[in-house]
Amino acid sequence: MPVIINNKKKCRNYDFLYKSLDETYSVSIINENGTLISSYNDKILRIPASNLKLFSTAYLLNKYKSSKNFKTSIFRRNSNKYYLLGSGDPDLSYSDIYKLLSNISYNKKINLNIFEINSKYYWPKGWTSGDKKFEYGAPITTLALNSNQSKYENIETLKRSIEKYLFNKYPSSSIKVKIVENSKKFYMKPSIELDSIRSNPLLSLITLANSESHNFTSESLFKNASNTWNDNNYFKLKNWLRNIGLNVANSSFADASGLSRNNRVNTKLIAEFLNKMKYSKDFSTYQSSLSIIGVRGTLAKRYSNSELQGKFVGKTGTLSNVFALSGYLFKDNKSFVVSIIQNSENIDRDTTFNLLKNIYKLEGCF
């Protein structure tokens, strides 16, 4: 049932907002002053889809500066032992790999170890077999050529390509290329970093994750920030939210991208989190990474050339039987937070966007 919180006499009763909604919807609205002024089923746990990226990208900004880069590097130990180590750069290409390999010098014996995570960690729990067949469900690996999305080529394919490159360059050498689990990076010590390929800056990467809802990027970024390449546990995200004062007792976090069907949060948590982010030192960076209605990202085609264009900055979330929309709505030089999730076999995106438009038109507490 709707819950209306009227802290000021001038506030209207907002029951009419929810007349078109059934019990598959949840809504939370927080005004400029941080007051929850209206809600509907907002304590019911829902699958948030990509709205979960709102949490994981903020976690990253809490750990790193927006200018931070991630590296793919080649190291040498002694005269003929080399190590290739990645960090999940979503834009890594074969030309980048060959540039790194060009640092390998001639030797009668050349040994190259390629570090990669165990295949059992390629996909978080709750990613379906169907998801894994498509680009948006590409495996999460440290050496990911073009985010593993155009055509997934596993680590063995990369190994054969590297072997071919080295055999052609040094046909008289004895060349051994080996795949080593990422958890055994201690084999590298002591070694010298010869060269590296740097990713785009963090701001660019979180914009890719949020505005374009890029799953691979959000997962690789979180694994770097949380140092969890060798497991698929996301408890650090939940603990961080708890530590900043949010109630996550019944919530479940199964990945960083929202593709997992095992995620469970409510709109109250999302709205309270987004409100808290307004006071973060990283808020301008965070906000700039989001989609803008009628302008860019996954919201570009909604309400262009209308009064709502450019007035909502946020994140969509889409899965089968899930649609979510959360972010910041701007009106009269004020901003307030809106979070809407529908979990249903009959998803109706138009109803969600009409609700957003109706909220924009409200008078009173806003």
Residue 236 lies in a domain: yes
**Domain region containing 37:** 2-66+204-360
Task: Please give the helix or strand (H or E) that residue 328 lies within, else none.
Answer: strand 322-331
* Side-chain-side CA neighbours of residue 172 (13 Å): 4
Residue 221 and residue 355 in one domain: yes
- Shared domain for 223 and 326, answered yes or no, is yes
pLDDT of residue 6: 44
Q: Which of 180, 199, 218 finishes a domain?
A: 199
Total-model pTM: 0.93
Which of 127, 32, 46 lies closest to 347 in space, CA to CA?
46
3-state DSSP call for residue 68? coil
Residue 239 has pLDDT above 60, yes or no: yes
Let me know whether 190 and 208 are in one domain: no
Give mean pLDDT, residues 87-105. 96
In a domain, 366, yes or no: no
Could you tell me the CA-to-CA distances from 236 to 12, 196, 205, 219, 240 in Å, in that order? 40, 29, 21, 13, 6
User: What percentage of residues in the chain have a pLDDT greater than 90?
Assistant: 87
Model confidence at 90, in pLDDT bands (50, 70, 90)?
very high
* Residue that is last in its domain, among 145, 170, 199: 199
**Phi and psi based region of residue 305 (left: phi greater than 0; alpha: psi -120 to 50; beta: remaining):** left
Compute the distance between CA of residue 168 and CA of residue 184 in angstroms, rounded to an integer: 29
Confidence of residue 2 (pLDDT cuts 50, 70, 90): very low
pLDDT tens-digit series, residues 111-152:
999 999 999 999 999 999 999 989 999 999 999 998 997 655
- The verdict on residue 106 lying in a domain is yes
CA–CA separation, 257 vs 152, rounded Å? 19
The arithmetic mean of pLDDT across residues 314-342, rounded, is 96
Q: Among residues of the chain, what percentage have pLDDT more than 70?
A: 95
pLDDT tens digits, one per residue of 5-57: 444 444 566 778 899 999 999 999 999 999 999 999 999 999 999 999 999 99
- Give domain status of residue 249, yes or no: yes
- Regarding whether 270 and 332 lie in a shared domain, the answer is yes
Strand partners, 84: 74, 114
Looking at residue 49, its pLDDT comes to 98
Starting at the edge strand that comes first in sequence, how are the strands of the sheet with 322-331 ordered?
A: 2-4, 36-40, 25-30, 334-343, 322-331, 312-319, 291-292
- Does position 3 have pLDDT exceeding 80, yes or no? no
pLDDT greater than 60 at residue 349: yes
Of 163, 183, 199, the last residue of a domain is 199
Same domain, 235 and 104: no
> What pLDDT is recorded for position 155?
85
* Same domain as 267, residue 233: yes
Q: Is the pLDDT of residue 83 over 80?
A: yes
Q: Say what the pLDDT of residue 23 is.
A: 97
For residue 113, the model assigns a pLDDT of 97
Rounded mean pLDDT, 66-91: 96
Q: What is residue 355's predicted lDDT score, i.e. its pLDDT?
A: 96
Interval 258-303: pLDDT, tens: 999 999 999 999 999 999 999 999 999 999 999 999 999 999 999 9
Residue 183 lies in a domain: yes
Task: In whole angstroms, give the CA distance from residue 27 to residue 103.
Answer: 55
Q: How far is CA 239 from CA 226, 232, 246, 267, in A?
A: 11, 15, 10, 18
Q: What would the mean pLDDT of 150-161 be, rounded to a whole number?
A: 79
Residue 210 resides in a domain: yes
Q: Helices 235-243 and 215-226: crossing angle, nearest 10°?
A: 70
Residue 1 pLDDT > 70, yes or no? Answer: no
145 domain residue, yes or no = yes
The enclosing domain of 215 has a CATH number of 3.40.710.10
Tell me: do 168 and 233 sit in the same domain.
no
The pLDDT assigned to 187 comes to 86
State how many domains the chain has.
2
> Does residue 54 lie in a domain region?
yes
Question: What's the average model confidence in pLDDT over 57-70?
Answer: 96
267 and 136 share one domain: no
